[in-house]
Amino acid sequence: MATNGERDPLLGPPGEPNFARDTDLSEHAAKRAVERRAAVIRAVTHGVLTVAFVAALLSMFFLWDKVGRFAGALPKDPEKAAHRLLESAPVIDGHIDLPEFARSVYGNNITAFDLNTPTPGHVDIPRLKKGQVGGFFWSVFVNCPAHAGLDDGPDFLKATWRVRDTLEQIDVAKLLINRYPETFQLATTSDEVKSAIADGKIASLLGVEGAHQLGNSLAVLRQYHELGVRYVTLTHMCNNAFADSGGYLTPIETKWGGLSPLGYKLIEEMNRLGVIVDLSHTSDETARQALKHTKAPVIWSHSSARSVHNVARNVPDDILELVGTTDGKVDGVIMVNFAPQFVADEGKANVQVVADHVDHIANITGKAHVGLGSDYDGIESTPEGLEDVSKYPALVAELYSRGWNRFELAGLTGRNLLRVIAGVERVAANLQAHGVPPALDIYDKRTDLPKYEL
Ligand SMILES: *[C@@H]1O[C@H](CO)[C@@H](O)[C@H](O)[C@H]1NC(C)=O
Ligand SMILES: *[C@@H]1O[C@H](CO)[C@@H](O)[C@H](O)[C@H]1NC(C)=O
Ligand SMILES: [Zn+2]
């Protein structure tokens, strides 16, 4: 103040006479001085208040975003809220058929399959980024023998190249992951998923979509695990040596009434290894028996709700009731499939109806047990508004506008799945720490082992 000559207007000029002098003249002057000072005070007060008000408005305008961000609050606008939420809780999809797309469209020639440019499928790198994807299970799928025009016989014993072809799919997934190291990072544990996301990468997990890909052999399961596979779907759309399938839109004739004896051993070995039991595609009996037998949490990598749309491929309410973390329930996550034929009547699949599946499952299991398993690149058409991997934010926005909070949404987009993966890891570590040995069981229909009698 002193340096630039500014003075507090509330103080009189230096050396000004005392206003209390008892003369007309000085009284008049004093009165005027008082009026002057009052006017100055009013003007200054008004000015200060105005500046403070404008400053407060401006800082609210510019800082609210940052303050809200710091406090974790989401913006009111659902679209903005979805993008904000996904910044810290990106999508981890339970089932994407990118390797299958590479196989069926490009014969696994990844040179011809450039993920940096728009692909004819639902997935490429620019759209993954736009959709705020932080990870997904790359499905290393090959068809059921019958769907590939092959016959593996009534006991699944005839060779069909399913194991070779699965190895090719693991290979093409890894070739693609390694070709774009700035985007993808192979992940085999929940911690690796988190660190890939922290590094700004898309955590890339591997899942085998059907035990028909195991060649009836637990040894093959162990070797898939060695290669990084972290879930096996117990069936695809065919029965296999381990379990019955649920068919497609309607059930198919079953063989075992659920799990086969080897199917029970498969679950035990998956629990011991830390391979997630995936119940998508299975028959209801298979799912019920597997839920009873597993020691570890489970997933439905890509399944919706049967009571929202009545097809065999969806999960019925009485099975959803078995999922949870209380009294005898099994922890798990049902990751909603976007396939139009599974979510709604023809021509009616859209974001809202997919959100209905999410809401319905959450209503029964709780919001901690639902996730996203789009099936992109494995489905022929898509719901309106969920055309490809760039569109996840639309579903998040829809659920936000229905009242889902940021914790619930973060669970849906990926954290529920991460909890399940970590749970499966703990069970495996525990079983191994207790010395549970590898399962050496052999499919009882096989006659090639043992070979010689001594
Ligand atoms: C793979 O695709 C590229 C690009 O289309 C082509 O030039 C190349 O010949 C293909 N490689 C094989 C082995 O077919
Ligand atoms: C879920 O429950 C809420 C609250 O009870 C209800 O309003 C909503 O319609 C339910 N949604 C579905 C899809 O069942
Ligand atoms: Zn599938």
Phi, psi of 370 (to 5 degrees): -130, 145
Contact yes or no for 392/91 (Cβ under 8 A): yes
Residue 2 included in any domain: no
The two tokens of residue 363 are: 């209503």
Q: Quick one: 65 and 148 in the same domain?
A: no
| Mean pLDDT of all residues in 127-140 | 98
Centre of ligand 1 to C-alpha 96, Å, is: 24
Same domain, yes or no, for 198 and 335? yes
Residues 254, 162 within the same domain: yes
Convert the pLDDT of each residue in 7-30 to its tens digit. Answer: 343 333 344 434 343 445 556 666
Q: Supply the residue whose CA is at minimum distance from atom 5 of ligand 1.
A: 112
Domain end: 49, 73, 97, which one? 73
Best CA proximity match to 351, nearest among 311, 392, 400, 307: 392
Helices (H), strands (E): how many in the chain? 15, 9
Residue 449 maps to a domain: no
Residue 145 domain-assigned (yes or no): yes
* 44 lies in the same domain as 90: no
In this predicted model, what pLDDT tens digit does every residue of 151-175 receive, in sequence order? Answer: 999 999 999 999 999 999 999 999 9
What average pLDDT does the segment 19-46 reach? 64
Please report whether residue 445 resides in a domain: no
pLDDT at 335 over 50: yes
Number of domains in the chain: 2
Give Cα 173 distance to the centre of its chain.
19
* Region at 161 (left for phi over 0; alpha for psi -120 to 50; beta for the rest): left
Tell whether 56 and 89 lie within a shared domain.
no
Q: Is 236 a catalytic residue?
A: yes
DSSP code of residue 402:
T
In this predicted structure, what is the pLDDT of residue 224?
Answer: 99
What is residue 450's predicted lDDT score, i.e. its pLDDT? 84
Task: Pick the catalytic residue from 209, 268, 269, 377.
Answer: 209
**CATH number of the domain residue 257 falls in:** 3.20.20.140
Question: Per residue in 415-433, is it b (16+ CB within 10 Å) or e — as a string?
Answer: bbbbbbbebbbebbeebee
Our mutation pick for probing the ligand 2 site, out of 359, 395, 401, 402, counting the most ligand atoms within 8 A of Cβ, is: 359
Q: Which ligand is closest in space to the CA of residue 96?
A: 3
**Which residue among 306, 354, 360 has the greatest number of ligand 2 atoms within 8 angstroms of its CB, and so is best to mutate?**
360
Catalytic residue among 97, 124, 165, 244: 97
| pLDDT score of 401 more than 80 | yes
Which ligand places an atom closest to the C-alpha of 359? 2
Q: What average pLDDT does this structure show over 228-236?
A: 99
Starting from the CA of residue 144, give the closest ligand: 3
Could you tell me the distance, in angstroms and rounded to a whole number, from the CA of residue 91 to the centre of ligand 2?
Answer: 24
pLDDT given at position 51: 75
268 and 396 both lie in a single domain: yes
Cα-based distances in Å from 335 to 230, 256, 411, 429, 443: 16, 26, 11, 25, 31
Phi, psi of 307 (to 5 degrees): -80, -10
- The string of DSSP letters for 164-229 reads HHHHHHHHHHHHHHHH-TTTEEE--SHHHHHHHHHTT-EEEEEEE--GGGGTT-HHHHHHHHHTTE
Torsional sign, CA 372, 375, 379, 381:
positive
Q: Is ligand 2 within 6 A of the CB of residue 356?
A: yes
Residues 258, 293 contacting (CB under 8 angstroms): no
| Banded model confidence at residue 43, pLDDT cuts 50, 70, 90 | confident
Provide mean pLDDT across the span 433-453: 93
What is the Cα–Cα distance from 307 to 291, expressed in whole angstroms? 20
Instruction: Band the pLDDT of 42: cuts 50, 70, 90.
Output: confident
Catalytic residue, chosen from 124, 375, 377, 388, is 375
Are 288 and 185 part of one and the same domain? yes
Same domain, 60 and 91: no
Q: Tell me: do 290 and 191 sit in the same domain.
A: yes
Distance from Cα 435 to the centre of ligand 3, integer Å: 34
Answer yes or no: is 9 within a domain.
Answer: no
Residue 281 is a catalytic residue: yes
- Give distance in angstroms: CA of 109 to centre of ligand 1: 6
Last residue of a domain, one of 51, 73, 95: 73
Tokens for 203? 């955590």
**Residue of 236, 309, 360, 369 with catalytic role:** 236
- What's the pLDDT score for residue 145? 97
Q: Are residues 213 and 95 located together in one domain of the fold? A: yes
35: tokens are: 């009026």
Domain final residue, candidates 73, 102, 137: 73
217 and 363 housed in the same domain: yes
Is 110 a member of any domain? Answer: yes
Identify whether residues 44 and 157 lie together within a single domain: no
Least-confidence region, from 53-67, 339-353, 383-397: 53-67
Annotation marks residue 97 as catalytic: yes
Catalytic residue flag (residue 360): no
Nearest ligand, measured from the Cα of 113: 1
With pLDDT > 70 as the criterion, what percentage of the chain qualifies?
Answer: 89
Distance 343 CA to ligand 1 centre (A): 38
Q: Which residues, judged by CB distance below 6 Å to any ligand atom, belong to the binding site of ligand 1?
A: 109, 111-112
Give the range of the structural domain holding residue 172, as residue numbers without chain letter: 78-433
Q: What is the pLDDT of residue 22?
A: 43
Task: For the chain, state the CA radius of gyration.
Answer: 32
Whether residue 309 lies in the annotated active site: no
Q: What is the pLDDT of residue 67?
A: 56
Quick check: 2 pLDDT over 90?
Answer: no
Residue range 370-386, pLDDT digits in tens:
999 999 999 999 999 99
Ligand 2 midpoint to CA 72 (Å): 26
pLDDT for position 81: 98
What is the best residue among 314, 363, 401 to mutate for testing ligand 2's pocket, by most ligand atoms within 8 Å of CB? 363
Name which residue sits closest to atom 14 of ligand 1, judged by CA: 109
Cα of 347 from ligand 2 centre, angstroms: 23
Among protein residues, the one whose CA lies closest to atom 13 of ligand 1: 109
Average pLDDT over residues 313-331: 97
Looking at residue 58, what is its pLDDT?
67
**Residue 172 falls within a domain, yes or no?**
yes
360 lines ligand 2 (CB under 6 A): yes
Average pLDDT of every residue of the chain: 91
pLDDT of residue 39: 74
